[in-house]
Amino acid sequence: MNSPSTTRPAVPRDTLVTELQRCLPADCLVLETETQRPFECDALTIYRDMPLLVALPETVAQVQEILRICHRLDVPVVARGSGTGLTAGSMPHPEGVLLVLSKLDQILEIDPLARTARVQVGVSNLSISAAAARHGLYYAPDPSSQIACSIGGNLASNSGGVHCLKYGLTVHNVLAAEVLTVEGERLTVGSQGLDSPGYDLLALFTGSEGLLGVAVEVTVRLLPTPELARVVLAGFDSVGAAGDAVGAVIAAGIIPAGLEMMDRLAIQAAEDFAGAGYPREAEALLLCELDGTAAEVEDYIGRVQTLFRQAGATSLRVSSDEQERALLWKGRKSAFPAVGRLAPDYYCMDGTIPRSRVSEVLQEIARLSAHYDLPVANVFHAGDGNLHPLILFDAGDPASVRKAEAFGGKILEYSVRVGGCITGEHGVGLEKLRQMPVQFGRGELELFEEIKVAFDPGLTLNPGKGVPILKRCQEYRALPPRHDHG
């Protein structure tokens, strides 16, 4: 799957290389096709393209100079972190520079009194918590890919994780960011104060997928490590019963640190992979983590177990120590690679629905699975309704790819129909552009376009992603070509 064709005059590659060699060491430019190959896609591998060249700057000043050169030459720039995204959001542009920020990997400051960390964007999510641990602090958002994903990518897609129900998404845990404009100008958005003057540009940049600017530094909020955290594992004989149990917990006024659901196929795959002790016979399971003081946790555990029994739980287990708690979460966080052993490929969707519609939506996914003759394993953040259906298919079979893509689109469209939205934490990228008009009216899409144009008049920052460009220039009027669904 290639990028949309463009009509802007292509800059001679030699000209661009010569310009960039003046500001970058030789080993910071990747020019040969074979060495560029690892950068042709993100974790959604059915969409791929080769860049004109790859730049791996080592300093913020180098990033600024790259942006200035590309702006002057009208060359597209696609920013990339660790490449763990799942919407083709950092897929290269064939006539542009892939700006890889992984070398900006320094933790600049941990302030235990202010409970903040100031880091460069290439720092991995998990590294922040590891550095803060000696102060009894941690960074709350924890995507399944946290061992690899970068904080810059988290900012770009507004990532969440299994603990987002209680502690929020990236937007709730970032205080400030240093952002470079398309011209290379450095801006500070947000602040460490309770508020900052003017428009909330930090919220605008969070989740903007590299369309408005390039972040180079982020200041995040740190939280005290809870005195105690325990997990209640419950098995159910139907997905509907597990969905009812989720609603019952929230209705009771209990806000778990995490509340995750997995269906039978995901349970069995994760158990084979991680040996976490999941109930293999269950049709669905819930992982409910309670944290706080010891007294609070004991009270919540008793109440949650009662609610789960009333909802029809067929098995219950409570983690006895930190090692067992970590093992239970290991099963959940390894669900994606575990499911990858069941088929040549899987397609991870990301839609959000009202909690009250969980059972209905999963029944519709099962119906679509039968219609397209593709198995699906469901793993999702049940507490906030963020679905992650994993559609099993074979990327080597064009017909299978078409079916998987069509199946995924139907899931997103159904999510909108029941009052949800087409993304929860993965962003739009290239993958979901065709669902944007399902979610939004033309007036809304044109407003998004005007915001994009205000920051990037030439439409050179991550072009063809995130926002369908409806009117500004012929190059982006049409949505990117997709596989023909028939």
Q: Is CATH 3.30.70 correct for 343-417?
A: yes
Q: Looking at the domain 228-337, which fold is it?
A: Alpha-Beta Plaits (3.30.70)
pLDDT digits over 244-297, tens only? 999 999 999 999 999 999 999 999 999 999 999 999 999 999 999 999 999 999
Contact 239, 283 (CB under 8 A): yes
What is the spatial distance between Cα 174 and Cα 463, in angstroms, rounded to a whole number?
26
Contact 264, 241 (CB under 8 A): no
Per DSSP (E only), the strands in 264-411 are 284-292, 315-318, 345-348, 351-352, 376-380, 386-387, 389-393
Residue 201 backbone phi and psi in degrees, to 5 = -70, -25
Q: Give 107-224's CATH code, choosing from 1.10.238.10, 3.40.109.10, 3.90.1150.10, 3.30.465.10.
A: 3.30.465.10
pLDDT digits over 167-208, tens only? 999 999 999 999 999 999 999 999 988 777 889 999 999 999
* The two domains 107-224 and 228-337 share their CATH topology (first three levels equal): no
pLDDT digits over 87-123, tens only? 999 999 999 999 999 999 999 999 999 999 999 999 9
3-state secondary structure of 212: coil
Both tokens of 74, joined, read 């009208």
Parallel, antiparallel, or unpaired for β 77-80 and 97-100?
A: parallel
State residue 471's pLDDT score. 63
At which residue do the structure tokens 């096709």 appear?
A: 33
Rounded to 10 deg, the angle between the 358-372 and 239-251 helix axes is: 150
Rounded to the nearest 10°, the torsion over CA 437, 443, 447, 450 is 100
Q: How far, in whole angstroms, is CA 163 from its chain's centroid?
A: 14
Both tokens of 326, joined, read 């970590």
Q: Give residue limits of the domains in the chain.
A: 13-100, 107-224, 228-337, 343-417, 433-476
Mean pLDDT of successive 10-residue stretches along the chain, which has 486 residues: 52 93 96 96 95 97 98 97 96 97 98 98 98 98 94 97 94 97 97 84 97 98 97 96 93 96 96 96 97 97 98 97 96 91 94 91 95 96 93 96 96 97 95 94 93 96 91 45 40
What predicted TM-score, i.e. pTM, was given to this entire model?
Answer: 0.93
What is the CATH code of the structural domain delimited by 13-100?
3.30.43.10
Per-residue exposure over 377-405, b if at least 16 CB sit within 10 Å of its own CB, e if not: bbbbbbbbbbbbbbbbbeeeeeebbbbbb
How far is the CA of 180 from the CAs of 65, 73, 125, 154, 230, in angstroms? 10, 17, 21, 17, 42
Enter the DSSP assignment of 86. S
At which residue do the structure tokens 């990327």 appear?
A: 395
State residue 16's pLDDT score. 96
What is the spatial distance between Cα 54 and Cα 100, in angstroms, rounded to a whole number?
7
State residue 261's pLDDT score. 96
What is the spatial distance between Cα 372 and Cα 98, in angstroms, rounded to a whole number?
36
From the list 336, 332, 381, the residue with the least C-alpha distance to 355 is 381
Both tokens of 335, joined, read 């669900």
